[in-house]
Structure 1
Amino acid sequence: MSKGNNKKFMFVLVSLMVMSLWLAACGNNKTNNETNSAATNEAATNAPAATDAPTERILTDELGHEVTIPANPQRIVASYLEDHLVALGIKPVAQWSVPNGIQDYLSADLEGIPTIAYDLPFEAMTSFEPDLILMAYDGNVEGEKFDQYTKIAPTFTIGDKLTADWRGALLKIGEVVGKSEEAQKVLDTYDAKAKEAKEKLQAAVAGQSAAALWFVQGNFYIVSDQLSSGDLLYNQLGLTVPAVVKEISATGTGNWNAIPLEKLAELDAEHIFLINSGTDTDSQALSDPIWKNIPAVKNGKVYEYPSTSSWLYAGTIAYSQVIDDVLESIVK
């Protein structure tokens, strides 16, 4: 082979080698790209779905205020609404109180939680550094109070009407704090318990009547047939409403309405639940012949509970404890 031909041969050989390397590189890039693309697609397919993180929401309260609710409130004050908070697994930073006490039936759940006065003083509220304030009643935010509380923290009013409807109040609070599903589960669990209790009572004392009386400062109050513990006794548990309870409830305006001794003498209840807030000085009414001649009293069918019990309150926790009391007293 001549020298010139040798050069041509070497040039062709080098060119072929370069082209071969280029083709190999292209093939590898294509394979790598396909592999990477497949891996990316698989990763996208198998990646867990992104969860919705809590965000701020604007909700309208029962008085028409548009309130910006924090994404994940941690320091809540909800005076007189603690039953609902505890049921949802939330501990407030302060709990309702009056000069002579707190909601004792929640003491185990709210142990160590400091108190705030029922009228919610602004300085006291500020000291707890809340990030959300839930108000039970319209009067809590009347006049300029709402603006003053909103300077402390977002303030959402449940309102008189909804607070009286303990189921609605629980669901609304669940909505506000981002626990709507939990609130419904709490209600479902409670309803199952009430249904089971009703079946036990119907099997043991079907058709028998009962009344709840509150004795305080020497006076008697009888529960309404549609409110508070009366709603539980009659509508949920199926006990019979005495005629006197119907009569007083028809004209009464509160959960518990005053009943004079002479009207008490007409009480035809077969079972009486007595919430005794009396003292030694005013307990003489319980020795009065009128009281002693009531059939349930004469027959030993009076079941006494202290004022620290849950009978004076409403909510799934309060009512669950009342159900336990009723079954323990009546179903032997």
Structure 2
Amino acid sequence: MFKNRKSILAAAALVALLGLAACGNPGNTTDSSSSSAAETRSLTDAQDHTVEIPNKPNRVIASYLEDYLVALDEKPVAQWTVGQGSIQDYLQDELEDVPTISYDLPYEEVLKYEPDLLLIGSSATVEGGKYDEYAKIAPTYVVKNGDGVTWEDQLNEIGKVFNKEDQAKQVEEDYKTLITQTKEDLGDKIKGKSAAVLWVTNNSAFMVAEDRSSGRLLYGDLGFEVPELTKEVSEQATSDWSAVSLESLSQLDADYLFLVNSDQGAAMFEDPLWQNIPAVKNEQLHEFGPETSWLYNGPIAYTKMVENINEVLK
């Protein structure tokens, strides 16, 4: 049974947080020369802060960047949560014993964990003088973020922070290999076929934008066709997920519909408008629970989504 999310507050916070990648100004990251024996290295982050990075940080907080840490065989000292216990379930094989910290990083909570490095995934997190406060606690590095910044960009930058550039490149290459193999294996099940992704929570539907999160994966990486409704939603999108009405969904011209279902008992599923969506009528509705990776970004999230698509379309 999939988990049923009933908290409107938690869902609203999650919608907002999933779209934080749209905030902030990306910057360039540069190394300064340092000997291998030095205890720290100077790196310039996305906001042009010169940050003294420990050569071997071992008490890292990287809220909402845990996917990248796990991909690079790093374990944070605390992991992201929003609301009452909403965590990135798909990472829990590696993070099961890691305590949680609120997504907005309250100073007192950060202090409690005595970090030796803070990685910040959104410029919005350090607005209003917050950067200076965090920097008093530990070296604070803002990872490039915002429009046009891909998970590969963030992975490679975080790889640089941990002196693991080669491992980051290998993770990226492994993903490219998976995409190539998936396109070969699925063949005509992708070519000329359209798909859309919906998230249903609290009896409301949200559609992923064409060039964000699982939208980028479906259309940019795998090559599915983009439905007209998705194009319309994407034109106005300011975050990964945008609200969409049931009336609009009844006109959704997608061959496949991938559903992230956070509300098993949603009344909308019994509505004739829902039941008449072409993909639903044609039994091409493929459902995943909120514990899967479909709401998230990062190399592990994308890899698991591709694996899910392979499983349901093979």
- Whether TM exceeds 0.5 here: the answer is yes
Which residue is equivalent to 2:153? 168
Asked if 1:327 corresponds to 2:313, the answer is no
State the aligned residue count.
Answer: 279
TM-score, normalisation: structure 2: 0.85
CA contact (8 A) 2:151 2:298 kept: yes
Question: Which residue, 189, 192, 195 being the options, matches 2:177?
Answer: 192
SS in 2 for 1:258: strand
Which residue is equivalent to 1:316? 299
- Opposite residue 72 of structure 1, the aligned amino acid is K
Which residue is equivalent to 2:220? 235
- What is the distance in 1 between the residues matched to 2:148 and 2:210? 18
Which residue is equivalent to 2:284? 301
Asked if 1:60 corresponds to 2:41, the answer is no
Of stretches 154-163 and 116-125 in structure 1, the one that deviates more from structure 2 is 154-163
CA contact (8 A) 1:234 1:240 kept: yes
Shift of 1:316: 0.9
Change (3 A) 1:237 1:288: same
Shift of 1:253: 1.9
Shift of 1:58: 0.9
Shift of 1:162: 7.4
Which residue is equivalent to 1:76? 60
TM-score, normalisation: structure 1: 0.81
Identity of aligned residues (%): 44
1:241-280 deviation line (CA, Å, top 9, x unaligned): 1111112212222211111111111101111111011153
Which residue is equivalent to 1:127? 112
Question: Which residue, 89, 98, 102 being the options, matches 1:117?
Answer: 102
Question: Which residue, 289, 303, 312 being the options, matches 2:272?
Answer: 289
Shift of 1:163: 9.2
Pair member with larger Rg: 1
- What is the distance in 2 between the residues matched to 1:214 and 1:324? 19
- Opposite residue 328 of structure 1, the aligned amino acid is E
Which residue is equivalent to 2:87? 102
CA contact (8 A) 1:59 1:67 kept: yes
Which residue is equivalent to 2:121? 136
1:143-189 deviation line (CA, Å, top 9, x unaligned): 22112111111000114327952111111111111111111111011
Shift of 1:102: 0.4
Change (3 A) 1:270 1:295: same
- What is the distance in 2 between the residues matched to 1:315 and 1:195? 18
SS in 1 for 2:133: helix
- What is the distance in 2 between the residues matched to 1:316 and 1:160? 16
1:104-138 deviation line (CA, Å, top 9, x unaligned): 11011111001111111111111111111101111
- What is the distance in 1 between the residues matched to 2:96 and 2:38? 29
Shift of 1:202: 2.0
Change (3 A) 1:269 1:54: farther
Which residue is equivalent to 2:29? none
CA contact (8 A) 2:183 2:190 kept: no
- Opposite residue 272 of structure 2, the aligned amino acid is P
- Larger relative CO (CA 8 A, sep 6+): 1 or 2? 2
- What is the distance in 1 between the residues matched to 2:228 and 2:132? 47
- What is the distance in 2 between the residues matched to 1:154 and 1:85? 17
- What is the distance in 1 between the residues matched to 2:148 and 2:119? 11
Root mean square deviation, CA, Å = 1.6
Unaligned runs of 5+ in 2: 1-34
Unaligned runs of 5+ in 1: 1-50
CA contact (8 A) 1:198 1:236 kept: no
- Opposite residue 129 of structure 2, the aligned amino acid is E
- What is the distance in 1 between the residues matched to 2:119 and 2:147? 13
- What is the distance in 2 between the residues matched to 1:162 and 1:112? 33
SS in 2 for 1:257: strand
**Equivalence map 1:193-232=2 (5 Å):** 193-232=178-217
- What is the distance in 2 between the residues matched to 1:199 and 1:165? 24
Shift of 1:204: 3.7
Of stretches 198-207 and 300-309 in structure 1, the one that deviates more from structure 2 is 198-207
Which residue is equivalent to 1:90? 74
Which residue is equivalent to 1:26? none
- What is the distance in 1 between the residues matched to 2:145 and 2:161? 17
- What is the distance in 2 between the residues matched to 1:191 and 1:315? 14
Change (3 A) 1:227 1:292: same
